Amino acid sequence: MKGSFAFRFYGLLSFVLLLAVLSCQDPITVGNDLLDDNRIELGILDSTRLKTYTVPAGRFITHDPSLDPVIYYLGSMSDNLYGKTKAELFINCQMRTGLFPDYGKESALKFDSLVLVLTYDTLGTYAASTALQKIDVYRLDEKYMWKDTFYSDTTLAVFPDPVGSRTTTVRPKDSVTVTNHITRKSEKLLPQLRIRLNDDFGKSLIENFEAAKNDTLFGDFLKGFKITSESPEGKSFLYGLDLSDNAMLNTTSNKLIMYYNVASADTTQRKTYTYELGAATINRVVQDRSGSIVETFINNPTLGDSIAFVQSLGGTRTVVDLSQVRKLDLAKINKAELDVTVAILNEPGSNYKLTPYLAARYFDKNGRQLFISDISQSLTTTGSLYSIIGGQLNSSSGRNKYKLNITNHVKRMIADTTLSTDIQLAIIPEAETPFRMAVCGAKHSTNPMKLIITYTK
């Protein structure tokens, strides 16, 4: 895998954080007003009235030509609580730079097989660790360009019949053993998904000598693939694929590999040609909440007083209305911290891990969705994110909590009356994490969400 979670977060969201920095007013150093309480009297307020409710997260960017995401998901999850989440992939292929196939020069060419090989992200599973999956590969009937930006609701035309199918138990942490086509010896490879495409399609590719002459002709013949994956048993399971730039350098995976033989006198010479994956992978994610409990909460915002829902991959966010903060008569706010408790729901047999990190967004007056300034300033001034803003999962005494430092945002909100008083709790990074959870709302009977303000009296 490529780096730590924090590294992925910085890379994936750097452009969003830049917008946040540009939208800020004068910089405010977090905690700069927190003085020695032996010299000045401090007060703590935790009774500010909040309002909470659930909203759809909407689509998210799944390919930006300036960024290099690591994980892309396949699979699906389905239950009566959240509804159905379905993850699909669009990929394309290209000939190797400066090395085109020489199929047309062979006098006794014989096709063997065509195999699509993709690298698992060994830590990218969710809801289950392994599951039986029916995987289908469809041929695209529409081109797309790597320089364009694509969102999670992207739809591309495909031919109706799959060019490859496989039903297998996906085990993202297990190595695979294959027979080397050249040496005919067994070899153990890193965890990878291998899908043999139909022989008819493979032969049509190797016999198309015109398509092997240049990238344009090849792209006209093979525009790309759509990959779907679902459990025949209806088991919820998402699994990640590492299609980062670094993973593309792997010599045995993230390739479309043509295996073929050439007769030479009384012997057979075994050969391969490897097509590379293109620079743009699109993760299409469909959220269908029809008839689910979450849909009921979205349609009836007042239910958010008890619990609200947060889900990545275009799922949901929890809105926190901070409008009552503007009515407070406080001399000076030293710190404002949002205390969030995870709600315990009955989900028997599930393995829905909690997100390690929670963050807050808001919409500016131009409708841009930004991270609150506490996040952007932490990165630009200290380079240390979570040590300043919090937001990490803390499990203690049977409770799971997140505490977010939103001091700067609260100060800006009081000073600038044009700034929205709503913030949205979101899982980060949106496109590379599959987490979901319920949180206790502002009027939860035992663990209500609270805004804890430390101020100078």
Query: Which has the closest alpha carbon to 259: 194, 190, 310?
Result: 194
Q: Which helix (H) or strand (E) holds 15?
A: helix 5-23
Query: Which has the closest alpha carbon to 78: 278, 237, 199?
Result: 237
Separation of alpha carbons 114 and 259, rounded Å: 6
Secondary structure letter of residue 443 according to DSSP? T
Q: What is the mean pLDDT of the chain?
A: 87
Give the position of tokens 């695979």: 176
In this prediction, residue 268 carries a pLDDT of 84
pLDDT tens for 283-326 read 999 999 999 999 999 999 999 999 999 999 999 999 999 999 99
126: left (phi over 0), alpha (psi -120 to 50) or beta: beta
Separation of alpha carbons 446 and 449, rounded Å: 10
In this prediction, residue 349 carries a pLDDT of 60
| Cα angle value 340/346/347 (rounded, 5°) | 105
pLDDT tens for 342-396 read 998 877 666 788 999 999 999 988 888 888 987 755 444 444 455 555 689 999 9
**Beta carbons of 97 and 235 less than 8 angstroms apart:** no
pLDDT at residue 19 is higher than 60: no
Q: Residues of 388-424 as b/e, b for ≥16 C-beta within 10 angstroms? A: bbbbbeeeeeeebbbbbbbbbbbbbbbeeeebebbbb
Sign of the dihedral defined by the CA atoms of residues 352, 354, 357, 363, in that order: positive
Structure tokens at 209: 């000598």
Give the position of tokens 């790597």: 146
**Beta carbons of 21 and 141 less than 8 angstroms apart:** no
140-166 mean pLDDT: 96
393-413 mean pLDDT: 92
Q: What is the number of other CB atoms lying within 10 angstroms of the CB of residue 251? A: 7
Q: Which residues are bridge partners to 168 per DSSP?
A: 133
**Beta carbons of 256 and 93 less than 8 angstroms apart:** yes
Sign of the dihedral defined by the CA atoms of residues 50, 53, 59, 61, in that order: positive
Give the position of tokens 């913030």: 423
Structure tokens at 241: 């694929």
SS3 342: strand
pLDDT at residue 186 is higher than 60: yes
Query: Which has the closest alpha carbon to 426: 361, 341, 343, 340?
Result: 361
